[in-house]
Amino acid sequence: MSPSQIAISADGVERRFGDLIAVDGVSLEVEAGEIYGFLGPNGAGKSTLTRILCTLLTPSAGHATVAGYDVESQPGEVRLRAGVALQEAALDDKQTGAEMLALQGRFYGLSGKATKARVAQLTTLVDIGSALDRRIGTYSGGMKRRLDLALALVHDPEVLFLDEPTTGLDPVSRAKVWQEVRRLNRELGMTVFLTTQYLEEADELADRVGIISKGRLVAEGTPAQLKRSIGTDVVIVTVTGDARIAGQALKSLDVVERIEANGPTLTLSVSDGPSAISPIAVALAQVPDTEVIELSLRRPSLDDVFLSVTGEHITDSSAFMASASAPQNPQEPQ
């Protein structure tokens, strides 16, 4: 793509915290008007790269641009063109939503009249109108997320960074945020860089997905391309005992393209799921001291892709579990 079409570019970006490499040579490009899903568990480096792109952290190596401006040498230009909603919303519970939006407008140099007009536009884009005159301390978690999204949009940015915008929300609030992100992208042509640990969120919203693991970009493509890359169908088998032993009995089967063992579960990539079921069941029946508890067939998911490229499930990785209860610190890798 031509430089004019690139909204976000990272070239060999690295970020170190002492001996820890939180972001390890990440290179990517996001086209203008695209929703790019940056998928990975907590601790993978998603938020660290986002903070670099938002000029909140400087890269230890490499360089990056947002809206054509260098994040390290031209941070002011980047901030004028980027809207940012991070994991922890910086909201004042004692102010009303309208007061915070007006304050944000002043920060960006907007006149009172221009801010008022912009807030009126935002109430049609983001579902916050009914709560604007209430104190933020009375807001639900979903309403606070939507207000934070509106604050990121006051200056009409070219690029919107959303760092895990639906973490901790109930399904109804999450669906509303999804709806608003789609509307911003569709109606305004806004480029959205969305970090998430939710597979469904990346699958539902993103035009393209980048998968990050241990600081490295390990896969990239549309959700459909990534799923096709690991096989047409997936057979999931739960057995008694060690799944790795059962997996050995399936290696000689032509219908099985790839085998992943995780505890008592085998994940098998197959080209033709319905025809593969019978030979798989027959082979497993011949394994001593092993009983098949459950066998199911489904299409590949982004979790299967993540497992294929990293060797672990995103939903039960040690990095996710270790950091899920840890306090968030903007100076520490995430």
Q: Which of 61-65, 99-103, 172-176 has the lowest mean pLDDT?
A: 172-176
Give the domain ranges of the chain. Answer: 3-226, 231-299
318 pLDDT higher than 70: no
Q: What is the pLDDT of residue 175?
A: 87
Q: What is the pLDDT of residue 313?
A: 79
Residue recorded with tokens 């929300």: 169
Q: Confirm if 270 and 257 have CB atoms less than 8 A apart.
A: yes
Strand partners, 295: 237
Q: How many helices (H) and strands (E) does the chain have?
A: 12, 14
Q: What is the pLDDT of residue 177?
A: 87
DSSP state of 26: E
Euclidean distance between CA atoms 57 and 14, whole angstroms: 11
Distances (CA, A) of 256 to 98, 209, 276, 307: 59, 27, 7, 16
- CA-wise closest residue to 46 among 197, 165, 268, 159: 197
Residue recorded with tokens 């911003």: 184
> Please, which pLDDT band fits residue 323 given cuts at 50, 70 and 90?
very low
Euclidean distance between CA atoms 47 and 38, whole angstroms: 10
Degrees to nearest 5, angle at CA 5 with 190 and 14: 90
Interstrand relation of 61-66 and 208-213 (parallel, antiparallel or unpaired): unpaired
Q: Which of 31-45, 46-60, 130-144, 314-328 has the lowest mean pLDDT?
A: 314-328
69 or 88, greater pLDDT? 69
Euclidean distance between CA atoms 145 and 151, whole angstroms: 10
Q: What is the pLDDT of residue 223?
A: 93
Burial class (CB in 10 A: 0-12, 13-18, 19+), 258: middle
Q: What is the pLDDT of residue 4?
A: 59
Q: What is the pLDDT of residue 201?
A: 92
307 pLDDT higher than 80: yes
Helix (H, G, I), strand (E, B) or coil at 225: helix
99 pLDDT higher than 60: yes
Q: Confirm if 277 and 297 have CB atoms less than 8 A apart.
A: yes
CATH topology of domain 231-299: Alpha-Beta Plaits (3.30.70)
Euclidean distance between CA atoms 205 and 324, whole angstroms: 23
DSSP state of 327: P
Q: What is the pLDDT of residue 1?
A: 47
For the sheet with 159-163, list strands across it. 82-85, 159-163, 191-196, 35-39, 208-213, 216-221
For residue 115 the two structure tokens come to: 């801010």
Same fold, 3-226 and 231-299: no
Euclidean distance between CA atoms 170 and 149, whole angstroms: 17
Where would I find the beta strands (DSSP E) of 115-190? 159-163
Q: Confirm if 202 and 45 have CB atoms less than 8 A apart.
A: no
Mean per-residue pLDDT, 280-301: 90
- Share the mean pLDDT of the chain: 87
Percent of the chain surpassing pLDDT 70:
93
Euclidean distance between CA atoms 290 and 285, whole angstroms: 8
195-250, pLDDT tens digit by residue? 998 899 999 999 999 999 999 999 999 998 998 887 678 899 999 978 888 999 99
Matching CATH number, 3-226, of 3.30.450.20, 1.10.540.10, 1.10.357.10, 3.40.50.300? 3.40.50.300
Mean per-residue pLDDT, 100-113: 90
